[in-house]
Amino acid sequence: MIINKILNNNVVITLDKNGEETIVMGKGIGYQKSKGETIDNRKINKVFRILNKEVSSKLQELLNNIPIEHMNLSSEIIDYAQSRLNTKLNESIYISLSDHTYTAIKRIQEGITVKNAILWEIKRFYKEEFEIGMKALDLIEERTGIRLPDDEAGFIAFHIVNAQLNEKQQIIYDITKLMQEILNIVRYHFGIEFKEESVFYYRFIMHLKFFAQRLLSNNIHEGDTDKELLGIIKAKYSREFECIVKIKNFINKQYNYILTDDEMIYLTIHVAKIVQDSKVQPE
């Protein structure tokens, strides 16, 4: 491999036979080297052939700002996730996950912890991705000696879920459309305007995004619903539950999908929170 550009001592850029950039990592691989020189293959630790030029450019920028050890760690987590899920994740996860794990470790070192507002949903509806997140915490602890909180396993799972969407424009459009349809049903049922800056709205949006992604990907959730809990929720939030029944009927008619009791419980709780936090529209 011939060096085309040196990012730092540990990262260089080469060109393949088609003139496409290849990112090559290795401890000291670029030390005292110049453009046009040959790489010592024994020092190569990781090779990235990123087809998306925008992703490649952003990855190069990131690699110039974080230690090689953190990039290797993130790459190991991604490899494990792809093997566990038996799928190839979108290339952008090399940026999002590497940046997140590096920042998370720095935060803990500075004594700062961040709560994951959607950890509950992630654990319940994306169990496998959350388990991968927990495995990632083990790997991070092995490599750095730092144990991140379970909230971070949820954040890692969130990045993995997003990477499985593969940035297909049609499904992104469909997810956005379904989310907007549900929001409109809630808005008109209660005659309210949402406080879009509130944490309750954020949580609801994240829940809707996960729900829409699962529905449109035919990833059906089947859980053991607590019938007693369903009855309590229905009685306590009767008006909100009526709204969820409207949503259920709409989704059944438009998408040929029947909401599970579990999904109705979660939606009812979220709607109750945002209704309480929102403002009534003027007549």
Same domain, 195 and 158: no
Alpha-carbon distance of 122 to 210, in angstroms, equals 8
What pTM was computed for the model? 0.63
CATH number for the domain that contains residue 29: 2.30.24.10
pLDDT at 119 over 70: yes
The encoded tokens of residue 2 equal 């011939």
Residue type, 141: E
Q: What percent of the chain has pLDDT over 90?
A: 34
Q: What is the mean pLDDT of the chain?
A: 84
Same domain, 175 and 230: yes
Give the three-state DSSP class for 166: coil
Which of 167, 190, 223 is the last residue in one of the domains? Answer: 167
Same domain, 24 and 121: no
Tally the domains of the chain.
Answer: 3
Q: pLDDT confidence of 240, banded at 50, 70, 90?
A: very high
Give the three-state DSSP class for 161: helix
Tens digit of each residue's pLDDT (9 = 90 or more) over 195-213: 888 888 888 888 898 888 8
Quick one: which H or E segment has residue 251? helix 238-255
Same domain, 180 and 276: yes
CATH number for the domain that contains residue 260: 1.10.1790.10
The residue length of the chain stands at 283
> What separation in angstroms does the CA of 176 have from each of 182, 205, 211, 212?
10, 10, 11, 8
Same domain, 147 and 82: yes
> What separation in angstroms does the CA of 132 have from each of 4, 77, 138, 184, 237?
36, 8, 10, 35, 35
Positive or negative CA dihedral for 17, 21, 27, 30?
Answer: positive
Which of 138, 167, 196 is the last residue in one of the domains? Answer: 167
Is 60 within a domain? no
Same domain, 178 and 144: no
Same domain, 33 and 17: yes
Same domain, 186 and 209: yes
- Full domain range(s) for residue 174: 169-280
